[in-house]
């Protein structure tokens, strides 16, 4: 049963990352469509700026690109089972940073509504249970 839980958690985290990336490239629909958060990369970068008010505007594309790149790499690694222990710890940290940024700039309700802390905890639990 433990192996099934690890497998499901790996894929749930990976698919969540890929879904967020797909949204920022308009693959789930256009901005304003039902269940679409950004709908395009420009809107995603505006959100990135909102969550990182400390960052100079010139840094926002780098931060957004870094987050996007990490989510893609983490998702692929989790799907193929590459260095699951290390990737899940990095995923937990990324998700926690995202959740804290949301809480500080928007409200604590936002990361709770989107289960960001739950996803971070799941990644941390995956880290603690993985042998690789």
Helices and strands, number each (H, E), in the chain? 6, 0
CB 79 within 8 A of CB 91: no
Total of domains in the chain: 1
Q: Pick the closest to residue 91 from 69, 64, 71, 111 (CA basis).
A: 71
Structural domain boundaries, residue 72: 2-129
Share of the chain above pLDDT 70, in %: 99
What value does the mean pLDDT take over residues 105-132? 95
Q: CA 63 to CA 45: how far, in whole Å?
A: 9
Q: Pick the closest to residue 95 from 56, 129, 125 (CA basis).
A: 125
Tell me the pLDDT band of 10, cut-offs 50, 70 and 90: very high
pLDDT for the residue numbered 130: 83
Whole-structure pTM value: 0.94
Contacts of 114 (CB under 8 A, 6+ apart): 102
pLDDT for the residue numbered 132: 57
């Amino acid at each position: 049963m433990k192996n099934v839980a690890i497998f499901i958690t790996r894929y749930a985290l990976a698919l969540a990352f890929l879904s967020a990336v797909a949204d920022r490239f308009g693959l789930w629909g256009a901005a304003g469509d039902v269940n679409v958060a950004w709908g395009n990369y420009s809107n995603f970068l505006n959100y990135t700026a909102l969550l990182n008010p400390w960052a100079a505007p010139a840094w926002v594309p780098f931060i957004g690109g870094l987050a996007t790149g990490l989510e893609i790499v983490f998702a692929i690694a989790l799907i193929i089972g590459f260095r699951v222990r290390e990737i899940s710890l990095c995923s937990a940290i990324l998700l926690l940073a995202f959740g804290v940024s949301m809480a500080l700039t928007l409200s604590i309700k936002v990361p709770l509504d989107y289960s960001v802390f739950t996803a971070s905890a799941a990644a941390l639990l995956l880290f603690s249970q993985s042998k690789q």
